[in-house]
Structure 1
C-alpha cells in the first residue's frame, strides 16, 4: 500500500485563504503557502473518517445488511463539493468500508443535483460549507432519504474578510447545533475524524469485493437529466493498473501534481488515484486562483496563484484550459517590448519549428539563449518543472497540442468516457516500455491493456471497416467498462451496453474512429448529434437548430459543432419560398445579435449559442441531397457542401479536417 511504502512522503497539500477582499462585486483571495499532510497522516484521517461514517446512526446497520444480502439497495454517500483534499479523503473513507459514492457536478443546477441525490436515495451528503446555505432549502431539504450532512471544504473558507462578509467554517460542536434539514443532522469532516479516532471497529470486515459498486457517477453528457454510470471496484482498479502498466504518464514518488479539475469527473478522479498509488504529492488548487489571471487573483498579487506557488511536475487539463494557456501566453508575449520581446517570441516560434521572426541581433542571440528563454517563459506560468501534461474530457485540437508540447511540456491526449472509467487509450508522449516517445498530434494514442476496441461500420455516414484504414463506430469492452450501465435506466443501458456473440459487453460510444497504421486511435466524427466542446460541455445540434428557428429572419438553419472548439456556429439558408418569406435577407451582424438575445431568453446555455453565423443564398432541396424528402437537414452532406475552401465554414474559421 502506498500509505506504508511512502508513509513519510508529502501526500496532500492545501493552501489556506488568509484574506478575502471585496472590491465592489468582485472578491479576491490572498492565499498562504501549501500545508502538507504525509501519506501516513492522510491514511490516519481516512481510517478515522471511515470509522466515523459507520458511527453515524443507521449507516453501519445498512452496510451490515448489504454485507449479508448482496441484492439490497446500496448505501450511498454523495459528494457535492469543489475539488479539495477534503473531497478526496471523504471518498477514500467511503470506499474503505464499501459504501457507494455518488457524485454530481456542482455546476449542473439544482434540478440535476436533486435528481442524482434522490434517484440514489443518498443517506449521507458531503457538501462544501461555502454552498451550505445556498443548497439548504433548494436541494438538501428536498432529499427525504438524507440522514446526515457532513460539511467539508474548510480550505476554501477565508480566515479573514475585508469589505464584505463570509461565513466561518463551523467547529463540529457548532455544526451539530445547526437545525435539522428534514431528517438530516449536520457534522463536519473534522467531527467524523474525531469520532472515528476514538473507535476501534475492524474495517477489514467491511472491505469491498471487486464486484461491489464503488461509484455512481452522474454525467451531463446528454440533454435532459444527467445519467448515473455505475462503476465497480474492478472497473476502477483496472484503469489504474492499465495506466501504470504502460507507463504512458509514468508517475513518480517525487512528482508534484496540481489538483483542480472536478473530482466529480472520472478524468480527474482516475488521474489522482493513479498518482496516489505511486506516492506522488497532490497540491490542491482552485479554478478561481489557478493562474495569475484567474478571477479571484488580485491584479496586484500576480505571484500568488496556485501554479506559481506549487510549480508542479505533472498537470491534467481539459482542452479549454490548454487553449487558454496558448492564447494567454501569446497575448503576454505580444506585449513584451523591444529586444526582450523579440527574443521571447522568437524562442517560442523556434520551439514550434517556425521561423523566429526576430531581427538580426535577436536571431544571433537566440542560438545561445533558446533554452534559457523558454525556461523564462515557462517559469512565468509556474510550469518550468512540468514533465508531462495529460489532456482529456473533450477532443484537443492538434494546433493547441503542438503549441503546448513544444513550448511548455509534452501533452498526452487520452480518450475514454465515464462509461469506460475514463481511460480507454492514451498517447505515449514519453518513452516507455522500450517504445519511443510518440511526438505526433491529432490522435488519442494506444489502446490500454484493460481495454478492447473494435470498429463497427456506419454505412449511412460512409464509414466502413472495409475502408483502408478501417473506419467506424468505436465499441469498447474490457474490465474498465461498466457491466451494469446506467443507474435505473435499463432501456438506455441495453441500447449502449450490448452483449455481443462473444459473450462480452461492448459499450457503443457513438464516436467514429480510425485505427492508424501505427496502431493508434484517431477520432474523426460523432455518430450522434451530441458534440463535446473543449470545455467538456455537450451541445445538441438538433436542440440549437430548433431554438434558432424561433428567431425572426431564420427559416432554414444548420448548426455545426467541432471537437476542438469552444463554440458552435450556424449557417442560415434561403427558405424554399425565398428571403421574402422571412422578411428579407438578414444582415449577419444584426442576426447574430438577435439570435444571441433570443436564445439566451429561451434559457440556452452560453456554449449552446452560436458564436458566429453565415447567411447563404442556397435553397436546400431534396434534389440537392442537402435535406430529406421531409426537409430534415442532411448533416453530413451539408457539412461537405459548406466545408470547401473560402466557403461559409472557412470564413468562420471553422473548417472540418479532411477525413
Structure 2
C-alpha cells in the first residue's frame, strides 16, 4: 500500500470516527433517520476495518472435534484438553487446595486490594472492604461462634438466611477458617422445607439479614428444638429482642458476634480439601429438599477446570476485574463464580437487594464479569427488539447490517467491542451493562439460541453457556470461548467425563449418541446429607451421577440437552416444576375434570390444557353466567375460560402453589383424555408426550399471547 493510500485511509477513518463520536452522544437509535448517516457508517466501516485488522480469539481445541471417547464400553467422553484420560482439577500452586486457601491467595495477588463492596444507601457510592479486613473479620466471626459454644469441626453446620451482602461473604470465610459448614436458607423454600433443613442439619445457630426473617423463624421455633441462637445483621428492635427472649432464644447482632470473637480469639483450624464447605439444599419439586454435600476439593476442581477453558481464550481474571453479585448465594452457580473471583484477587460488588435497582447498580459498578440467567438476558433482548420495531425501516436496516457484520466476525472467532458497529449501533446496549463487561456467563436454564446469538453480536465480549446442577458443583459442561455455534452446552469440563446411558422406555440409546446424561469426576458431590436412599438414586455404584436429563452428542463433540427423563423440568428463570403435583391441586376445583400442565425451559410461565367437568360445567354456566350452551360452545366461551382460570388460581393458592407454579393461560378441551383416544396409559396416567404433540398448536398460541 502506498503512502498516499495510507494517508487517504487515515483521513477517511478519522472523519468517520468524528462523525461516530457525534452520533454516540444522541439517544440510541434516534440518529438513524438519515440515509447519509447510513452511507457514512458503511463507508467508514470499510476503511476502519482495513486499519484495525481484528484478530480471532485463541482456540483451546479444534471446534469441530471438542471431545474424545475415553472408555469404549461406557462410551464416555472427555474434553480434548485432557491428556491420557487425566482430569485437570488441581491448581497450579499445590498449596491452594481449599476455598480458604483461594481467598488468601486473592489477598496476596491483589496486594490486599478491594474484596467486597456495597452501597450503604441508594444515594451513596459503593464502599469497599479489603481482603485482609475480610480475613480479620472472618476470624472474629469464627471465634465468636466458638465462644457461643459451637465446635470448630466439619460437623458444625451454620445456617445463613440472607440476601447477598458483605456479611454473607465474611460468614462464609469464617466457617472455612474453622472447618465449619455453611447451610444457606432462602425464601422460596417455604416454612416446612426450612424447618426440615434446620432439623436435619441440626443447626443451632442461624444468621439472618433482616428482622422479618427472625420473626419467621420464631413463629415456628417450637418445631426446631436444635435452634437456640440467632444472629441479626440488621439492628435488632426492642420488639424482636423481647420476642426472642420469650422463646428462650439467644438473639444478638452481627457486630456483637464480631466483638465477642475479637475478645476471645481462637487459633484457626482451616478446612481440609475433602471437608464439606456447603450443604446446598436443592429446592426440588416434590417432597422435602435434599442437602447436596459439596466439598472444598470439588469446588476447586470445577474452578480450575473452568479457568483452563477461559484463560487461553483471553479471559484472564485478575485484581482489575469486578463481579456484580446478585444471583442468590444460596445456589451453587453464584458461589462457584465468586470462588473463581476471589482466587484471582478480583473484587465483588453486591447489589442493593432490590432487582428494580439492579441496572443502577450495574451502571455504577461497571462490572467486567457479568453472571446471568436467561430471564434477565431475555429482557435485554426484548427491550432492544421493542425499540427497534418502533423505529423506522432504515434504522432496522442499519441494525441488521451491524448484526450481519458481527455474525461474519463470530464465524471467524473474532470477538470485540471496538468495531464501527460497536461505536455506532451497539454502544448504548453495552453501556447498559456498565460498558466494561468482558465475560457474560449464563446458566440455571437454557438460553434460546436466538437470544444467545444476538448477545454475542451486540455485547462485544464472550457469552458462554454452562450446564450442570448442584450435584456436580454447579457445572459439568461449558461452551468454549470463540465457538460461534448455539443450541448446545459445550463439551465436558476437563475435570470430569460424561456418558449417555440408555433410557429404553423413552427409546434413547447410547449407541445412537442419545441417553441420560451421567457425570463422573472430582466435581461430583458426595451425596445427599443423611439420605442414603436418595443418594443411591443419584449416584450409582461406579460413581456416575445420573442427572435425569436426556442429552445428545453432536458431531463436533458438544452436548445438547434434548429431553428430561422424569416429568420434571425447569422454567427459563431456573425454577423446577413438577407438573403432576400442580395438576393434583387444580383438579380439586369442581369445574376441572382433567388438566395437563405444560412448561418449557425457554419460557418463564406455565400453560394448561383443561377438560372441564361435563357434569358440572353446564349447570354452573347457566347459573353463574346465564349461558346455556353445548360443551364445545362453553369451551370456546371466553367468559367461561376466564372464570375457570380464576377458580384454578384460587385452588392453587389454597394448595400452596408458588406464583411460578400457577398456569398463566389455559385452553379448554371438551373431550376427556382416555385410554381409547391414546392420551392416558392403561393405568390412567397422562401420556405427556402425546398430549404435548396433540395440543402443540394451542400451546404455541397461548405462549404467543403471553409474550
Q: Which secondary structure does the structure 2 equivalent of 1:316 belong to?
A: strand
The answer to whether 1:418 aligns with 2:470 is yes
Q: Per-residue deviation at 1:133?
A: 5.0
Distance in 1 of aligned mates of 2:599 and 2:420:
42
The answer to whether 1:54 aligns with 2:146 is yes
User: 2:6 corresponds to which residue?
Assistant: none
User: 1:43 corresponds to which residue?
Assistant: 135
Cα 1:589/1:391, change in 2 over 3 Å: farther
Q: Per-residue deviation at 1:348?
A: 4.5
- The count of aligned residue pairs is 572
User: 2:441 corresponds to which residue?
Assistant: 390
Distance in 1 of aligned mates of 2:201 and 2:575:
24
Q: Does the 8 Å CA contact 2:479/2:491 hold for their aligned counterparts?
A: yes
Q: Does the 8 Å CA contact 1:178/1:186 hold for their aligned counterparts?
A: no
Q: TM-score, normalised by structure 1?
A: 0.79
Task: Point out where structure 1 has 5 or more consecutive residues left out of the alignment.
Answer: 18-29, 68-73, 155-168, 294-304, 357-366, 431-436
User: 2:332 corresponds to which residue?
Assistant: 266
The answer to whether 1:309 aligns with 2:364 is yes
User: 1:495 corresponds to which residue?
Assistant: 537
The answer to whether 1:565 aligns with 2:603 is yes
Q: Does the 8 Å CA contact 2:211/2:240 hold for their aligned counterparts?
A: no
Counterpart selection for 2:262 from 194, 197, 200: 197
Distance in 1 of aligned mates of 2:492 and 2:598:
29
The answer to whether 1:285 aligns with 2:336 is no
Matches within 5 A, 1:57-456: 58-59=149-150, 62-63=151-152, 66=153, 74-140=155-221, 142-152=223-233, 169=235, 179-180=244-245, 182-203=247-268, 206-247=269-310, 250-289=316-355, 291=357, 305-332=360-387, 343=395, 348-353=399-404, 370-408=421-459, 409-428=461-480, 430=481, 437-456=482-501
* Alignment root-mean-square deviation, CA: 3.3
Cα 1:368/1:250, change in 2 over 3 Å: closer
User: 2:126 corresponds to which residue?
Assistant: 34
Q: Which secondary structure does the structure 1 equivalent of 2:466 belong to?
A: strand
Q: Does the 8 Å CA contact 1:576/1:620 hold for their aligned counterparts?
A: no
Q: Which secondary structure does the structure 1 equivalent of 2:446 belong to?
A: coil
Cα 1:447/1:376, change in 2 over 3 Å: same
Deviations 1:247-290 (A, max 9, x none): 26642321111001110011111111111111111111035155
User: 1:584 corresponds to which residue?
Assistant: 631
Cα 1:383/1:83, change in 2 over 3 Å: same
Larger CA deviation: 131-140 vs 108-117: 131-140
Q: Per-residue deviation at 1:223?
A: 1.8
Q: Per-residue deviation at 1:320?
A: 1.2
Q: Per-residue deviation at 1:580?
A: 7.6
Q: Per-residue deviation at 1:513?
A: 0.5
Counterpart selection for 1:471 from 514, 518, 521: 514
The answer to whether 1:481 aligns with 2:524 is yes
Q: Does the 8 Å CA contact 2:163/2:353 hold for their aligned counterparts?
A: no
Q: Which secondary structure does the structure 1 equivalent of 2:441 belong to?
A: strand
Deviations 1:203-237 (A, max 9, x none): 1xx22222222211111122232221122222222
Larger CA deviation: 545-554 vs 530-539: 545-554
Cα 1:368/1:218, change in 2 over 3 Å: closer
Q: Per-residue deviation at 1:355?
A: 13
Deviations 1:534-558 (A, max 9, x none): 1221121212333343445543432
Q: Per-residue deviation at 1:414?
A: 0.7
Cα 1:49/1:259, change in 2 over 3 Å: same
Q: Which secondary structure does the structure 2 equivalent of 1:472 belong to?
A: strand
The answer to whether 1:611 aligns with 2:653 is no
Q: Does the 8 Å CA contact 1:110/1:138 hold for their aligned counterparts?
A: no
Q: Does the 8 Å CA contact 2:215/2:240 hold for their aligned counterparts?
A: no
Q: Does the 8 Å CA contact 1:551/1:598 hold for their aligned counterparts?
A: yes
Q: Which secondary structure does the structure 2 equivalent of 1:555 belong to?
A: strand
User: 2:648 corresponds to which residue?
Assistant: 599
Distance in 1 of aligned mates of 2:475 and 2:609:
35
Q: Per-residue deviation at 1:621?
A: 4.5
Distance in 1 of aligned mates of 2:474 and 2:161:
20
Q: Which secondary structure does the structure 1 equivalent of 2:487 belong to?
A: coil
User: 2:87 corresponds to which residue?
Assistant: none
Cα 1:202/1:178, change in 2 over 3 Å: farther
Larger CA deviation: 575-584 vs 472-481: 575-584
Q: Per-residue deviation at 1:523?
A: 0.7
Distance in 2 of aligned mates of 1:283 and 1:490:
39
Q: Does the 8 Å CA contact 1:626/1:637 hold for their aligned counterparts?
A: yes
Distance in 1 of aligned mates of 2:145 and 2:111:
24
Q: Does the 8 Å CA contact 1:553/1:584 hold for their aligned counterparts?
A: no
Distance in 2 of aligned mates of 1:346 and 1:188:
59
Bigger relative contact order, structure 1 or 2, given CA contacts below 8 A and separation 6+? 2
Distance in 2 of aligned mates of 1:576 and 1:136:
46
Distance in 2 of aligned mates of 1:574 and 1:269:
46
Deviations 1:320-345 (A, max 9, x none): 1112222233345556x779xx64x5
Distance in 2 of aligned mates of 1:578 and 1:177:
53
Larger CA deviation: 400-409 vs 269-278: 400-409
Q: Per-residue deviation at 1:634?
A: 1.4
Q: Which secondary structure does the structure 1 equivalent of 2:288 belong to?
A: coil
Distance in 1 of aligned mates of 2:242 and 2:663:
49
Q: Per-residue deviation at 1:42?
A: 1.9
Q: Per-residue deviation at 1:292?
A: 6.8
User: 1:2 corresponds to which residue?
Assistant: 106
Matches within 5 A, 1:631-646: 631-643=684-696
Distance in 2 of aligned mates of 1:596 and 1:473:
36
Q: Which secondary structure does the structure 2 equivalent of 1:447 belong to?
A: coil
Q: Does the 8 Å CA contact 1:512/1:527 hold for their aligned counterparts?
A: yes
User: 1:158 corresponds to which residue?
Assistant: none
Q: Which secondary structure does the structure 2 equivalent of 1:630 belong to?
A: coil
Deviations 1:378-408 (A, max 9, x none): 2552332111211111222222222222222
